[in-house]
Amino acid sequence: MSAILPAFPIRLEKRTDRTPRWVQAATPVGAFLFAFVIVTVILLAGGHNPLQSYNAMLQASVTSTSAISQTLVSATPLLLTGLAAAVAFRMGIWNIGGEGQLYVGAICASGVALAIGAHGIGLALPAMILAAMVGGALWAAIPGLLRAYLNANEILTSLMLNYTAGLLLDWLINDSNSYWRDTSGASAYLVAHGKTIPGSADWPAIGGGNFSVPFGFLVGLVVAALLFVLVRHTWLGYQLRVTADNPGVGRYAGMASKRNFVIVMLLSGAIAAIAGASQVGDFTHILDPTGLQSPQYGYTGIVVAALGRYNPLAVVISALLLGAITNAGINVQSATFPQSLTGVIEGIILFCVLGSEIFSRYRVRVGAEKATVTA
Amino acid sequence: MPSEPDSRVALAAYAVTKRFPGVVANDNVDFEVLSGEVHALLGENGSGKTTLCKMLTGMYQPTAGRIEVDGKPVVLHSPADAHHNGIFMVHQHFSLVERLTVAENVMLGWSLDGSRIRFKRRKAEQEVARLAEQYEMPVDAGKMIGDLSIGERQRVEILKALCRGARVLILDEPTTVLTPQEADRLFASVRGLAKAGNSVIFISHKLHEVLAVSDRVSVLRRGVMTGTVELGDHAAAVDRKELARMMVGREIELGRRQRAARAQEAPAAGLEIKELVVHNDLGILAVDRINLNVAAGEVLGVAGVAGNGQREFAEAIAGVRPRSGGEVCVGGTPVRSGRPLAALAAGMAFVPEDRMGIGLASGIDVAENLVLKSFRTGAFSRGPLIRRGRVVENANALLSGYELRGGPASLVGQLSGGNAQKVLLAREMASQPKVLVIAAPTRGLDVGVTETVRKLIAEAADRGTAVVMISEDLDEVLDLADRVAVMSGGRITGIVDAEGADVEEIGLLMMGQEQAA
Amino acid sequence: MNHGLAIQLIATGIFYGTPMAIAALGELLAERSGVLNLGVEGMMLMGAVVAFWVSRDVSGPNGLVLIIAVLAGAAAAAAISLIHAFMTITLRANQVVSGLALTIFAGATGLSSYVGDLANLGGNPGRHIMNAINVFGLKNVPILGPIIFNQPALVYISWMIAFAIYWYVNKTRQGLHLRAVGENPEAADAMGVSVVRYRYAHVLMGGALAGVGGSFYTLVISSEWTDGITSGAGWIALALVILAFWRPAGVLAGAYLFGVVSALGANLSARGVQLPPEVFSALPYVLTIVVLAIVSSGWGRGRFGAPAALGVPYARDGG
């Protein structure tokens, strides 16, 4: 028995039979509707015309090919960090180190791009992605191994590593004469900045005219598909699914749960790192500490993953959704959709979806508790 | 030496009945505990002793009958009501916070002198120390629970009750988690408690404990109070067989398994267990040097009250739990310890009592569960990918004849107990195992499924599998087994042939009395 | 480096470390009840913006307005934290996700900025600022003067809060119950302690203190509002709780260390010292990882380490 609020006559009772199909389908829809209502109320309270705001948002993000392209720009890092978080969280592994793994990915990718980028995109692109994945995987291995073998809480350790990676980033560009830093030119020490990667290492955008898809987004789609196949259609994914929900069963079946734990962390770190590589290759073409750290893609990715219920295909949708909202916040320059609405809307949607999940595990009962029967 | 109780009835239940849907847990039970008495409550699992005590501590309400404290009828709606009346129960599972000290745990939710805010640490520690000394239950009040042994933690649980004014203490199978030395110390404490005028209800199924510590013994069997025996000064002379009869005596029902006629030559070696030693999760010795041989085609039933090491025994044989000592051989070949895959390769099948927690993965479907042990063979793979078609075919093949509602795509987590057990059995039997270890085979299952399961076990034996069947249900064991080994306190106290077995003798073995050589 | 500089560094360290210390003390309370709240940054920003708003629009004597502003900031942040409490305690949602959602919701591109836009707070100077107090007139005493006797009132309040929390957790019955709830909620529940009530109360207190910490930025450090003015202080506060192993004195020490180190870092590099400031800054985080690793598996697990139930939703039915 549990009360919704202390001493309130509504209770939540754990479901013992399977969740009815209609509940499973209705809850996210209901959640979105509920969120929609709340957002409209907040807009009204802020003196905005909700219709204008929604219209502005749609215009900026989906109603034209250039708008969609802009949305994809915002959605790309979220897709990758979202997938990274989804694969870990689905397995009950609370990897919040996506932020730091992204930074490490950016560092590795830009380093490789600076070194061999002049040899052409055919070499630079895969090399950047690979280097990023290795770096991200190694960075994620630390909390992974510490948890698997020393039982150290992975939330805390991965959080600490985020700060450390951020400081590493700062140091490379702001406080050292590293390979990444541009020390030539008069402005080099006035405003620290990194070396621009060779133009031939810039990642191509696919598409024509007003419509272009960042390469990183395509990579994200491929990763989503691969993850889906991995989890549902490979025996490794099978083992991960079993040990995630039932560690006792995993032991009984001889599955190596510690090793599997680390594998998932490595995978998660590698994917988050691709987001960093994409930031460098697709968009900034330079290692930019501020630009990488302020949007907090890693943390937002966790929210994206949660919205998509940790299912790789659904994560694509939620990344697009959040990308659209973020993009509207950035690109609508008028008062009808101030950038501050981005976080408000995203937060409300997430809270509603998160809160609605309880209905699939519990049902609502009004009144006093009946005595339970156990012999 | 037992204490001298006076004749005041501290706590009593009169004509108490407790009904649940489909089962009568307690049937018109009369039970009296005197002040200053240690009164043991003896019975198997399912005898109703736990239900009776839960009613005495307010967790359940009786369907009929009344409960009296100090001669006055009371209604106990909750444990808090029971505590008001000085009735406390010490459970097998402690409610202690490891990172807090003894004194802090004792004071949790309660105040020494009514102070509402200040927690006076030193005063609390002194009070706890005083109580500990008074009742001869030494414990360091300033130590963290995490640093204490299990026996010491149990003392803290008792002190918690005493601090809050307990006059009747109910100890639920307290020695399950204790070493023999700690158990002796507990008995001394219990006698001390009684001497001080408190009443102790000591729930147990171990004869030597009951005889060592109690003044009277009441025996429950299938919800009915079969009798109360005074121990007094002549504990040594008490008729143990009589007690055993009260605890397990029953007509042996017809319907014993008809075994296929066995060939005359000696049956092939199946499972050999030599000097097996296993520790449980808390590091306590659970299996104490067991030697056992089970022939191919034989069903060895392991009887005994739950909690005597059966779980660890089963898990160690099946390779799920590492052995601390001894050897397990299948068909003459030793099996490596603690390696489920090695056991699997040796031809071992295991149907655990914890079906959903160990045997079946609740988040995946039936077909995927059916390949839990065979997915590595390559028969279901195309490279790293799953050949789902083959997996489903396999599931259909295995399930034919089992009548599973829902089919191979149902999520296992939503299956009924009976269907889950069917899936487990289908999987484990599929590999024509050399050894089958099956625990609690029909627990919680309805009549139809129970029949099916028993039939499958018999068939497995007929096909030559060596079957180790661990069950608390003595009837079931006697029906299906060829021989019955009785497990008590981590040891095999005796082995008897199932045919013509003396139930009272088995009862004695279950209570810890070793078989005469 | 001469004494004067060192003293100034320490004084500055205490000054800049205080908002993080206050927020961290709040988070400490929440985490000791078993609830992880990653939304500290968002709550601090809400406190900052609301405090600033009140200080700009409420008229009165400086001291009174500042008090009301700080309290308003605390209330706003607590209201925000109520969302997290409801999500994680009642609806049993994942604490990590809910906390992050809170940061996004209330943070730099969220509600705090929205409020700032609505009330047109950006870019306009405030009307009240909390200056340093000259305590007992001792501000010019050598060494201790500038460090201890010449800080703004909130610094002294933070010391009082730290002490109060220490006393509360270790010397009161409620503090004992709090510790039980955070370590073993089943046991606490069995002993009659309401896990739900304690968790709600402590998450809200955590929110309130985060709001107070946030208000430091708009009432003390400067008297203006910009989006995201706390620039990551909330994240540092989270780290501080862990670094301090959930002890109030450690939080203060850690916060001041941070303050000193960041000031030091800027100072050193300007003087051409080779050791990069980031190494200093990173050291506490790396050290924490090492200690967490040692403590989680070995002997220290008994005494140090996170509250055992941290991050785990509690349900009496085991769900």
In a domain, C89, yes or no: yes
Distance, in Å, from the CA atom of B399 to the CA atom of B422, rounded to the nearest integer, reads 8
**Above pLDDT 70, what percent of chain C?**
92
Confidence band, pLDDT 50/70/90 cuts, at residue C300: low
Mean pLDDT across B174-183 = 82
Select the residue of C175, C302, C308 nearest B119 (Cβ to Cβ).
C175
Distance, in Å, from the CA atom of C267 to the CA atom of A74, rounded to the nearest integer, reads 38
In a domain, C308, yes or no: no
Mean pLDDT across B284-301 = 91
> How many Cβ pairs within 8 Å bridge chains A and C?
186
- pLDDT higher than 80, residue C316: no
Q: What is the DSSP string of A132-201?
A: HHHHHHHHHHHHHHHHHHH---HHHHHHHHHHHHHHHHHHHHHSS--TTB---SGGGGTS--BPBPPGGG
pLDDT at B261: 45
- pLDDT higher than 90, residue A339: no
Side chain identity at residue B167, one-letter code: R
Select the residue of A175, A329, A350 nearest C276 (Cβ to Cβ).
A175
B175 with B187: CB under 8 angstroms? no
pLDDT at A121: 85
Q: What is the mean pLDDT of chain C?
A: 87
> Domain spans of chain B?
29-248, 269-510
Interchain CB distance below 8 Å, C192 and B80? yes
Strands B299-303 vs B224-230: parallel, antiparallel or unpaired: unpaired
- pLDDT higher than 50, residue A374: no
Output the CA–CA distances (angstroms, integers) from residue B511 to B240, B476, C182, in the order listed: 10, 19, 41
Distance, in Å, from the CA atom of B301 to the CA atom of C281, rounded to the nearest integer, reads 66
B197 with B19: CB under 8 angstroms? no
Mean pLDDT across B176-180 = 78
- pLDDT higher than 80, residue C137: no
B312 with B287: CB under 8 angstroms? yes
Decide: residue C120, CB within 10 A, 0-12 exposed, 13-18 middle, 19+ buried: exposed
Confidence band, pLDDT 50/70/90 cuts, at residue A211: confident
- pLDDT higher than 50, residue B337: yes
User: Using one digit for the tens of pLDDT, what is the confidence trace for B348-372?
Assistant: 999 998 888 888 988 888 899 999 9
List of chain C residues whose C-beta atoms are within 8 Å of the C-beta of residue A329: 109
Return the structure tokens found at B434: 């050399």
Distance, in angstroms, between C140 CA and closest chain A CA? 36
Side chain identity at residue A344, one-letter code: V
In a domain, C223, yes or no: yes
Distance, in Å, from the CA atom of C159 to the CA atom of C171, rounded to the nearest integer, reads 18
List of chain B residues whose C-beta atoms are within 8 Å of the C-beta of residue A238: 364, 368, 375, 386
User: Using one digit for the tens of pLDDT, what is the confidence trace for C169-184?
Assistant: 999 999 999 999 999 9
- pLDDT higher than 60, residue B517: no
Interchain CB distance below 8 Å, B95 and C308? no
pLDDT at B511: 81
**Above pLDDT 90, what percent of chain B?**
29
Query: Is the pLDDT higher at C20 or at B452?
Result: C20
Q: Give the N- to C-terminal CA distance of chain B in Å, as an integer.
A: 30
Which chains border A (3 or more CB–CB pairs < 8 Å)? B, C
Distance, in angstroms, between B191 CA and closest chain C CA? 27
Interchain CB distance below 8 Å, A151 and C297? yes
Q: What is the CATH number of the domain that holds C35?
A: 1.10.3470
Closest residue by Cα to residue C178 from C84, C304, C309: C309
In a domain, C311, yes or no: no
- pLDDT higher than 70, residue B33: yes
Number of domains making up chain C: 1
Distance, in angstroms, between C119 CA and closest chain A CA? 10
Distance, in Å, from the CA atom of A182 to the CA atom of A188, rounded to the nearest integer, reads 6
Pick the CATH number of B29-248 from 3.40.50.300, 3.40.50.2300, 1.10.8.60, 3.40.50.1820: 3.40.50.300
DSSP letter for B331, please: T
Distance, in Å, from the CA atom of A101 to the CA atom of C99, rounded to the nearest integer, reads 20
Side chain identity at residue A13, one-letter code: E
- pLDDT higher than 90, residue C33: yes
Return the structure tokens found at C2: 């001469």
Distance, in Å, from the CA atom of C252 to the CA atom of C175, rounded to the nearest integer, reads 20
3-state secondary structure of C33: coil
Return the structure tokens found at A335: 């008062």
Which residue is closest to B105 within chain C, CA to CA? C180
Interface of C with B in 161-190 (CB under 8 A): 171-177, 179-180, 183-184, 186-188, 190
For tokens 């006559």, the residue is A9
**Residue B126 backbone zone (phi > 0: left; psi -120 to 50: alpha; other: beta):** alpha
Give the least confident one: A27-36, B4-13, B103-112. B4-13
Select the residue of C102, C109, C285 nearest A329 (Cβ to Cβ).
C109
Q: Which residues contact A14 (CB under 8 A, 6 or more apart)?
A: A361, A362, C315, C317, C319
Decide: residue B199, CB within 10 A, 0-12 exposed, 13-18 middle, 19+ buried: buried
Which residue is closest to B91 within chain C, CA to CA? C190
pLDDT at A3: 39
In a domain, C237, yes or no: yes
C-alpha of B71 from chain center: 34
Select the residue of C171, C193, C303 nearest B108 (Cβ to Cβ).
C193
For tokens 């405003």, the residue is A191
**Above pLDDT 90, what percent of chain A?**
45
Select the residue of B364, B376, B384 nearest A241 (Cβ to Cβ).
B364
Closest residue by Cα to residue A317 from A70, A71, A102, A38: A71
Domain B269-510 has CATH 3.50.50.60: no
List of chain B residues whose C-beta atoms are within 8 Å of the C-beta of residue C193: 108-109
Distance, in Å, from the CA atom of A327 to the CA atom of A339, rounded to the nearest integer, reads 9
State the residue range of the domain holding C247: 3-302
In a domain, C313, yes or no: no
B414 — contact with chain A (CB < 8 Å)?
yes
In a domain, C193, yes or no: yes
Distance, in Å, from the CA atom of C40 to the CA atom of C21, rounded to the nearest integer, reads 12
In a domain, C110, yes or no: yes
List of chain A residues whose C-beta atoms are within 8 Å of the C-beta of residue B387: none
List of chain C residues whose C-beta atoms are within 8 Å of the C-beta of residue B111: 173
